[in-house]
Amino acid sequence: MNLISTDLPAAGIRANETTVPLLPCISSEETTAFYRALGFEIAYEMHKPYLYLAFAMSGFQLHYGKAPQGIDPADEDAGGCLVMVDDVASYHAAFTAAMRASYGKVLAKGRPRITRYRPGATRFTLVDPTGNSIIFIRRDEPEDLEYGGDKSLPPLRRALDNARIYREFKNDDKAAFRAVTSALRRHSGDATPVNRAIAYATLIELATALDERERIPALRADLEALLTELDDDERRLVADDLQLADDLETWIAESAGPRGRAKPL
């Protein structure tokens, strides 16, 4: 995602501005505890005569004030902030490590939480106790998104691309699962075996994310039936996608705390 810079004609204006988000806060105690656990420093804290909190990390800050009446944290639409970074993976790794150290688990469900990260993805989200979304975005993320999938791709691959957008940009695993399931039903006969296999591997990962493990044995069986039609390179490609499901299962188990165990897929 590239931000457009516009030269202003007004005299005396210099391009050295800094913007700082001011987000609503329902609970100062929960919000402070969350950001401390992630490794942020408290840059400013005031509770009277009004609430004002500022948290700092690296080169950016998040500021909070009293939430207006009517905000329901469960709606998770209180506010948001985009944090543009060079490498999102390192931030995700740092935050998950901090959560394990502070909470004994990864906060993968509920609120506050961190969304999962797939290798190569360009963003992830922190959801704070009030329901604000702090979205970390790779600075060179492509600007154009083909909602519905890249139209230059064949139908099943287009659905897989659309599922990627649902999963990584909308945090909507259910919509991603529906898109791939529908495409398999409608276009399986026209798709190559390797693309069908990748679709099943994607559905296994999504079923894991949705905690719908009862779907996985049938998906595994459909995938296994295709493996004999694939060459070695194609099998390795599918194995890489299946590894993402295994990695997610481990990550979810870690979110259950020290006693969490990954269930066999």
One DSSP character per residue, 64-118 reads: EEEPPTT--GGG--S-EEEEEES-HHHHHHHHHHHHHHHHSS---SSSSEE----
Radius of gyration for the alpha carbons in the chain, expressed in angstroms and rounded = 21
Give residue for tokens 């006969």: 189
Minimum mean pLDDT range among 52-56, 84-88, 248-252: 248-252
Q: In the predicted model, is pLDDT for residue 98 greater than 70?
A: yes
Are the C-beta atoms of 121 and 165 separated by less than 8 Å?
Answer: no
Amino acid in position 19: T
pLDDT digit string, tens, across residues 141-196: 887 777 788 889 999 999 999 999 998 888 899 999 999 999 999 998 899 999 99
Q: Given CA atoms 97, 103, 108, 113 in this order, what sign does their dihedral have?
A: negative
* CA 121 from centre of chain: 8
Using CA atoms, how far apart are residues 55 and 165, in angstroms rounded to an integer? 30
Across 118-136, b (16+ Cβ under 10 Å) vs e yields eeebbbbbbbbbbbbbbbb
Identify any residues that bridge with 91 across adjacent strands, giving them in sequence order.
Answer: none
Q: What percentage of the chain reaches a pLDDT higher than 70?
A: 92
Write the burial class of residue 156 (CB in 10 Å: 0-12 exposed, 13-18 middle, 19+ buried): buried
Using CA atoms, how far apart are residues 46 and 52, in angstroms rounded to an integer? 5
Q: What is the pLDDT of residue 264?
A: 34
> Nearest CA to 156 among 200, 204, 96, 123?
200
Q: In the predicted model, is pLDDT for residue 254 greater than 80?
A: no
Please report, for residues 2, 15, 17, the alpha-carbon distance to residue 8 in angstroms, rounded to integers and kept in the order given: 19, 9, 13
Minimum mean pLDDT range among 38-52, 87-101, 133-147, 226-240: 133-147
Q: What is the pLDDT of residue 5?
A: 56
Strand ordering across the sheet containing 123-127? 80-85, 133-138, 123-127, 113-114
The tokens for 217 are 């044995």
Mean pLDDT of 215-242: 93
Using CA atoms, how far apart are residues 119 and 173, in angstroms rounded to an integer? 17
pLDDT digit string, tens, across residues 121-151: 999 999 999 999 999 999 988 877 777 888 8
Q: What stretches of 128-203 adopt beta strand conformation (E)?
A: 133-138
Q: What domains does the chain contain, in order, with CATH numbers?
A: 22-138 (3.10.180.10), 155-255 (no CATH)
Phi-psi region of 83 (alpha: psi -120 to 50; beta: other; left: phi over 0): beta
Q: In the predicted model, is pLDDT for residue 7 greater than 80?
A: no
Q: What is the pLDDT of residue 3?
A: 56
Cα 209–Cα 71–Cα 174 angle in degrees, nearest 5: 20
Identify any residues that bridge with 65 across adjacent strands, giving them in sequence order.
Answer: 24, 52
Average pLDDT score over the chain: 89
